[in-house]
């Protein structure tokens, strides 16, 4: 058993290292000077087209912050897209959590006609690929005159079925007897929601916040389809707009783009595990 555990651990370490290699490569190359990047990767396009092997350089000859300076100071487009990503992500995370929490409470702890049928529709919407509902979303937003408006990104992100499903699973594990006893003692539904439900689903709310943040931070299809003005694009579209001559800048931009997600994952890893665990629970 011990030998098996050691072999498994070694295999996991090797696989983890393989997956981390691109991150290490991107991080170290972000500290190279523009000249070093151009010297080493100048023949990147020709080598790729010829199907030949290409050597990657990991350790820079000279440490430089020039690429970060150019991204954060010289290029106003990057800063504008960074703020756009923040303007999209924060409202979506906040209001999606609020809407999902209230809707999940109704589905988990209140009885009304056709409750199971309506929740089944939520599940169907959650399981549908994003491309299936993309056209209906576009038509609705067009009728509302919201195309090329930041609300065209924010509103669909707020009303997402996944948050309701996730938090309902957390709330379903709270005994009904506790709620019934609180109502008998004179508590209102709002008091039950605030003092009993919310404290017991903090880990679920944290998990939903993290997952929503990551999903919104990496938006690609929605801005490309719903927005016509490139000045309103989020930072997730900045890397694809870089030319091959700006390869060095793309390394620094990638690191800056990854930092919020990495920090959030490191902080909320346990919440994500709890969220995955509770999604398997059925009432």
DSSP calls for 131-156: HHHHHHHHHHHHHTT-TTSTHHHHHH
Do 205 and 274 form a contact (C-beta atoms < 8 A)? no
Do 165 and 126 form a contact (C-beta atoms < 8 A)? yes
What is the predicted pLDDT for the residue at 155?
A: 92
Spatial CA neighbour of 165 closest among 132, 215, 207: 207
What is the predicted pLDDT for the residue at 1?
A: 45
In angstroms, how far is CA 147 from the centroid of its own chain?
23
Prediction pTM value: 0.83
Spatial CA neighbour of 222 closest among 212, 233, 211: 233
What is the predicted pLDDT for the residue at 250?
A: 82
What is the predicted pLDDT for the residue at 104?
A: 92
What is the predicted pLDDT for the residue at 116?
A: 87
What is the predicted pLDDT for the residue at 65?
A: 85
State the alpha helices, DSSP H only, in 30-160: 34-41, 44-50, 66-69, 76-109, 115-127, 130-143, 151-158
CATH of domain 74-278: 1.10.3720.10
**Neighbour-count burial for 227-258, b at 16+ CB within 10 Å, e otherwise:** beeeebbbbbbbeeeeeeebbbbbbbbbbbbe
Q: So where are the chain's domains? A: 2-64, 74-278
What is the predicted pLDDT for the residue at 279?
A: 56
- pLDDT by position in tens, the chain (length 283): 445 578 888 888 888 888 888 888 888 888 887 777 777 766 555 544 444 555 666 777 788 888 888 888 877 788 888 899 999 999 999 999 999 999 999 998 888 888 888 888 888 888 888 778 888 889 999 999 999 999 999 999 998 888 898 888 888 888 888 888 888 888 888 888 888 888 888 888 988 999 899 999 998 888 989 998 888 999 888 877 776 557 778 888 888 888 988 888 888 777 777 666 655 544 4
What is the predicted pLDDT for the residue at 47?
A: 47
């Amino acid at each position: 058993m011990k030998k098996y555990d050691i072999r498994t651990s070694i295999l996991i370490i090797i696989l983890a290292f393989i997956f981390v290699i691109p991150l290490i490569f991107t991080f170290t190359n972000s500290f190279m000077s523009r000249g070093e990047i151009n010297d080493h990767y100048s023949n990147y396009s020709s080598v790729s087209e010829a199907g030949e092997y290409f050597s990657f350089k990991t350790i820079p000859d000279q440490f430089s912050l020039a690429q970060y300076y150019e991204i954060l100071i010289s290029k106003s487009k990057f800063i504008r897209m960074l703020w756009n990503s923040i303007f999209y992500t924060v409202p979506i995370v906040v209001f999606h959590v609020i809407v999902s929490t209230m809707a999940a409470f109704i589905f988990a702890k209140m009885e009304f006609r056709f409750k199971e049928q309506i929740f089944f529709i939520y599940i169907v919407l959650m399981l549908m690929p994003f491309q299936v509902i993309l056209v209906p979303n576009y038509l609705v937003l067009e009728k509302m005159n919201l195309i090329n408006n930041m609300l065209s990104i924010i509103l669909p992100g707020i009303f997402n079925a996944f948050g309701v499903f996730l938090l309902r699973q957390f709330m379903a594990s709270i005994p009904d007897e506790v709620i019934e006893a609180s109502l008998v003692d004179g508590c209102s539904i709002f008091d039950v929601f605030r003092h009993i439900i919310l404290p017991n689903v903090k880990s679920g709310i944290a998990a939903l916040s993290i997952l929503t943040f990551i999903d919104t931070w990496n938006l690609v299809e929605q801005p490309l389809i719903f927005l016509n003005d490139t000045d309103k694009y989020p930072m997730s579209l900045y890397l694809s707009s870089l030319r091959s001559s700006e390869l060095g800048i793309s390394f620094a931009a990638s690191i800056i783009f990854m930092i919020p997600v990495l920090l959030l994952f490191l902080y909320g890893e346990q919440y994500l595990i709890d969220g995955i665990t509770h999604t398997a629970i059925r009432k």
